Amino acid sequence: MKKFFAVFEKEYHLVNDRAKMERLEDDNGHKILHYIIVTPRLITNRIMFPCLYEIDGENGEYTFISSTRGQEAWNEKHKDLIKKLVVSEQTIQYYNFKPLESGGCHVTVVAAMNPNGMIPGMIKKVMGKAIATGV
């Protein structure tokens, strides 16, 4: 899985064609991304600048975490990219991969976010389902 996340930001469009992602400069050794979520018409696109944390565990275990918590300075620094977009909050996006002796992999995913702004309830349900089944 670590190999997958090594190219995650470059190939993300293959997983989600409604999102655009590019890597910005690092912050204290952690990757910072410029992430835009392209929304349906009549809804303003979302933007965020999550910080990525990677943890190598024992026996091939790998954890990937991203969050916008504490990233307010990045919103200010890159307000030229924000323009009229709505800044979303990604409290946490957590993936943990543990190889199994059988050759498989146990995956734990935790995601919590607030898209902010006005979004109809029907769209929120679709978003929630997409996040919950994204792995």
Read off the pLDDT of residues 44-75 as tens digits, 9 standing for 90 and up.
899 999 999 999 999 989 998 999 998 899 99
Q: What's the pTM?
A: 0.77
The set of long-range contacts for 118-121, using a CB threshold of 8 Å and a minimum separation of 24, is 118/43, 118/44, 119/39, 119/43, 120/43
pLDDT tens string 105-122: 899 989 888 889 888 888
Give yes or no for residue 2 having a pLDDT over 80. Answer: no
